[in-house]
């Protein structure tokens, strides 16, 4: 059984493959650009994205829209996470957080899955903190500055460990239980 992961980010594909291997589901990385609307809800981006992709005739796929929401920055970068990562990067976020004591942040991942013609949309959350320096070489994006336990960054742990705690790992667990409820796997 195969699921296409439609993304430009190989890091996401690695994480999905790690989560689905035990179910015998293989991930196929598909680069297929689609329009992402600008809105305040990750779920809305995913819903619209699924419509766009289905119009192209693609079935049995996963897309995900994720964002880092930092309390002291009133939820920034949030739905602008991709833009902020490309422009100011982790260094810029750390500069904005200089001398800020409230370092709480939430990572969110909304997955849209088309499987056997059915639509499943789930959102996973990981609460954590923004570190004061970048740490680690694993992962991608904000991983070096986000910590789920206040000590280690997501870039200091393996893909498998990250999946145990992360927003994407939590979303995948919801997705798998919904696929099972619907007897799709
Ligand atoms: P996207 O639009 O879902 O691809 O993600 C928005 C931004 O958040 C991009 O810059 C990603 O690199 C970053 N991002 C998404 N998921 C993660 C993650 O699991 N760890 C670190 N950064 C992430």
The residue behind tokens 């981006």 is 45
Active site positions, annotated: 65
Model-level pTM? 0.97
What is the number of domains present in the chain? 1
The predicted structure's pLDDT at residue 46? 96
* 82 phi and psi angles, rounded to 5 deg: -65, -45
How far apart are the CA of 67 and the centre of ligand 1, in A? 6
157 vs 25, 84, 152, 154, CA distance in Å? Answer: 24, 24, 8, 6
pLDDT tens-digit profile of 37-70? 888 899 999 999 999 999 999 999 999 999 999 9
The predicted structure's pLDDT at residue 85? 98
Query: Residue whose CA is closest, atom 12 of ligand 1?
Result: 141
User: Which domain does 87 fall in, by range?
Assistant: 2-181
Query: Residue whose CA is closest, atom 7 of ligand 1?
Result: 82
Enumerate residues lining ligand 1, CB below 6 A.
Answer: 9, 64-67, 81-82, 85, 139-143, 154, 166, 168
pLDDT band of 116, cuts 50, 70, 90: confident
The predicted structure's pLDDT at residue 37? 80
The predicted structure's pLDDT at residue 44? 95
- Domain CATH for 90: 3.90.950.10
Query: Residue whose CA is closest, atom 10 of ligand 1?
Result: 82
């Amino acid at each position: 059984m195969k699921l296409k992961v439609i993304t430009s980010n190989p890091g996401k594909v690695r994480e999905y493959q790690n989560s689905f291997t035990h179910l015998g589901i293989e991930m196929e990385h598909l680069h297929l650009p689609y329009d992402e609307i600008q809105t305040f809800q990750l779920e809305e981006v995913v819903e619209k994205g699924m419509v766009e992709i289905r119009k192209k005739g693609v079935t049995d796929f996963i897309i995900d829209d994720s964002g880092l929401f930092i309390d002291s920055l009133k939820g920034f970068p949030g739905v602008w996470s991709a833009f902020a990562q490309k422009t100011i990067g982790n260094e810029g976020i750390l500069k904005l957080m200089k001398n800020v004591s409230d370092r709480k942040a939430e990572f969110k991942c909304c997955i849209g899955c088309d499987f056997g013609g059915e639509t499943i949309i789930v959102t996973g959350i990981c609460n954590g903190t923004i570190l004061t320096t970048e740490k680690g070489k694993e992962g991608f994006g904000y991983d070096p500055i986000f910590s789920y336990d206040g000590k280690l960054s997501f870039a200091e742990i393996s893909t498998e460990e990250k999946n145990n705690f992360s927003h994407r790992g939590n979303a995948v667990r919801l997705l798998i239980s919904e696929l099972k409820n619907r007897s799709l796997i």
